[in-house]
Amino acid sequence: MTVHDTIRPIRWDADRLWLLDQRALPAREVYLDYDDPAAVTEAIRDMVVRGAPAIGVTAAYAAVLAVRRRYAADPAGWRAAVAADLAQLEAARPTAVNLHWAVARIRRRLAELDGDPVPALLAEAQAIEAEDLAANRVMGRLGAALIEPGTAAVMTHCNAGALATAGFGTALGVIRQAFAEGRLGEVYADETRPWLQGARLTAWELAREGIPATLLCEGAAAALLRSGRVSWVIVGADRVAANGDVANKIGTYGLAVLARHHGVRTMVVAPTSTVDLALADGDAIPIEQRAPEEVLCCAGQAVAATGVAAWNPAFDITPAALVDVLVTERGVVHGPTREAVAALFERPPS
């Protein structure tokens, strides 16, 4: 069995952080290198790297850069400066909880360290990366097992693939595994406006890995689901509330509503680091509002009439009632509820 798994968007090499610039895809495959933590914060904000798990891994390495720089400058008083660096890093993207989870984990590790903290902190960042990749492979197997052999097609939205993680992906990890096992024939991918992550990133991943893919604009989703060709909608998540409500790329909510109406099941694939038990439900999840120009322009060219405003939330909330299955590295939850989500944390990772 060949599992299609060749893409790694984050690398630590030669004491520097390297990020695959996702803004340049699919036209160019370019890695940018960083040794300045403030520049990594900007890279997260500017979508060089995106996807909740990938942002978390990147944040961990950014913390290594911050500590290395501050400790070298002031071995006695570095902690205050690092605290400010981490606060700026944490504010880069408000919705993706993996960013906050990773920074919190780094803070806990720093509190345990004396002397030169860099080697231990680098080991922690590398552990976060390795754990994410391992979790994605577990979720791939668990999710693929839910897809009946001979399934003609599934549909996905945005990019929840290797590019959004340390590698392999969440939603696309399930799709990769299902295709490798011969369960699945084809993938339909929404364009995902306004950043076109589906067109630029998901389609690129699938084409590069040799998985048959067909692109559609969001406005065509209802007609496709009505056709009966799609058995599952499979998406990732940027945050999951305690009751199972899901924050994901804008358009996910509408797709879940359409799927339910047409009898198509919805699968959300996310590691437990994306679950935020501190938030009771989706109404408490902060939704990032991005610049109107992302909607009013395309590739730097105005496409809307002068004087028109734009509403540009980066994410929406899909109620748990519309989620048929939540797949995590700790197990599968059918019909997520507050009790079932909480019970995930009583299980060891699979």
- Alpha-carbon Rg for the chain in angstroms: 20
Q: In sequence order, what DSSP letters do the residues of 195-230 get, joined into one string?
A: TTHIIIIIHHHHHHHT--EEEE-GGGHHHHHHHT-E
Please classify residue 75 by burial: count the beta carbons closer than 10 Å to its beta carbon, then call 0-12 exposed, 13-18 middle and 19+ buried. Answer: exposed
If phi > 0 it is left, if psi is from -120 to 50 it is alpha, else beta; for residue 88 that is alpha
Q: How far apart are CA 283 and CA 8, in angstroms?
A: 34
Q: Indicate the residue type of 128.
A: I
The active-site residue out of 5, 238, 276, 316 is: 238
CA distance 60 to 131: 13
Q: What angle do CA 206, 208, 210 make, to 5 degrees?
A: 65
Distance set, CA 340 to CA 64, 267, 326 (Å): 36, 15, 10
Parallel, antiparallel or unpaired: strands 315-318 and 275-276: unpaired
- Give the count of alpha carbons within 13 A of 325, CB side only: 22
Handedness of CA 72, 75, 77, 80 (dihedral sign): positive
Q: Does 116 participate in catalysis according to the annotation?
A: no
Note whether 35 and 65 are within 8 A (CB).
yes
Which residues, at least 6 apart from 89, have a Cβ–Cβ distance to it below 8 Å? 37, 40, 41, 44, 59, 62, 63, 66, 99, 103
The catalytic residue positions are 238
